[in-house]
Amino acid sequence: MKDSYIELTVKVDDSLVDLVADFIANISGDAVEYGKGCVILRSSEDTADIEEKLNALDIDLEIIKEKKENIDWIKQYQDSVAPIEAGEFYIHPSWHEAKEGKTNILINPALAFGSGHHATTYSCLMAVSKYVKSSNDVLDVGCGSGILALASSFKGANVDLCDTDELAVDSSKDNFTLNNQNYNNIWVGSANKSDKKYNIVIANIIADVLKAINLELKNRVKDKGILILSGILDKKEDIVKNSFSNLELLDRIAKDEWITLIYKKDKNG
């Protein structure tokens, strides 16, 4: 272990903390912590590239960089990660025991995204618990850690998954191996790289991207199939609803300031 490490504290508006935490974890591969109005990254590697990518984001943020004496912050981080229960699922790291009577999903959250703690991931797990059935064909778009595809796989679904970030795809592969589950296909990219139709399509991204790719998401859903959309800040809910207005809105899950919308596609959708 090195004698010192770099600590980056990124100060942002509280409404953006979860998204910035996901972004940093995705590009760094290191553990992150986040609280009110800030995200903290601790790394033994040079952080210049991360700082450059953060500064390229079109949001207001402040980066504070400090060199600190090394401590066992990995253990501190592990101690701070609690298991999550969402519907029939119990998501836990390896240092916590499985829970009897639940579908246990093992996730060692070296990465913050997709560990179940984010409100949108939690809400999507609730939707998977309710809507995904055995033998369904499921596509997870923007899969992150693969947790939603994993949950679907545990329910007996046949899953494909994709993400535009290669690190996320690698993380998903590792988590499927960790849980002894199988997927049909996984790729770097989006839904437009598939010509298959699915019973369930899940896209936990952000509202603006959901709007941009609304046609390719709809095209992947079978007639009478289900589309689960999340990553939607409440103030941007109408942007998504307007883009998917030709589908039937079945359900709406609100948690904190985040919204998950569940749609059904008919023949005209």
- CATH class for the region spanning 120-264: alpha beta
Give 1-30 pLDDT, tens digit per residue.
566 788 889 999 988 888 888 888 888 877
Q: What is the per-residue pLDDT for 268?
A: 60
Could you give the CA distance from residue 26 to residue 24 in angstroms, rounded to a whole number? 5
pLDDT digits (tens, 9 = 90+) for 87-100: 899 988 888 889 99
The predicted model scores a pTM of 0.71
What pLDDT shows up at residue 230? 94
d(CA 149, CA 172): 9
Share of the chain above pLDDT 90, in %: 57
Backbone φ and ψ of 200, nearest 5°: -135, 130
pLDDT reading at 113 higher than 50: no
Cite the residue boundaries of each domain of the chain with CATH code 3.40.50.150: 120-264
Q: Is the dihedral of CA 49, 30, 10, 258 positive or negative?
A: positive
* Separation CA 269–CA 170 (nearest Å): 33
- Round to whole Å and give the CA distance between 264 and 219: 13
pLDDT value at 111 more than 70:
no
- Residue 138 is encoded by which pair of tokens? 């499921």
- In this prediction, residue 112 carries a pLDDT of 40
- The model's pLDDT over 30-78, given as tens digits with 9 standing for 90+, comes to 778 887 899 998 888 888 989 998 988 888 999 999 887 766 666 666 6
Which range among 3-7, 157-161, 183-187 shows the weakest confidence by mean pLDDT? Answer: 3-7
CA distances 76 to 31, 205, 208, 231, Å, are 11, 29, 35, 28
Task: Provide mean pLDDT across the span 160-167.
Answer: 92
Q: What is the mean pLDDT of residues 151-176?
A: 94
Q: What is the DSSP letter of 118?
A: S
Residue 263, both tokens: 């749609």
Among residues 132, 167, 137, 159, which one has the least CA distance to residue 24?
Answer: 167
- Cα–Cα separations (whole angstroms), residue 127 to 38, 41, 84, 120, 247: 29, 31, 15, 10, 17
More confident site: 141 or 165: 141
Instruction: Calculate mean pLDDT across residues 142-159.
Output: 94
Q: Which residues make up the CATH 3.30.70.270 domain(s) of the chain?
A: 4-77
Range from 55-64, 124-133, 167-176 that averages highest in pLDDT: 124-133
Buried b (16+ CB within 10 A) or exposed e, 140-167: bbbbbbbbbbbbbbbbebbbbbbbebeb
Average pLDDT over residues 263-267: 87
Q: Could you read off the pLDDT of 209-234 as tens digits, one per residue?
A: 999 999 999 999 999 999 999 999 99
Question: May I ask the CATH class of domain 4-77?
Answer: alpha beta
* Average pLDDT, rounded, for the chain: 88
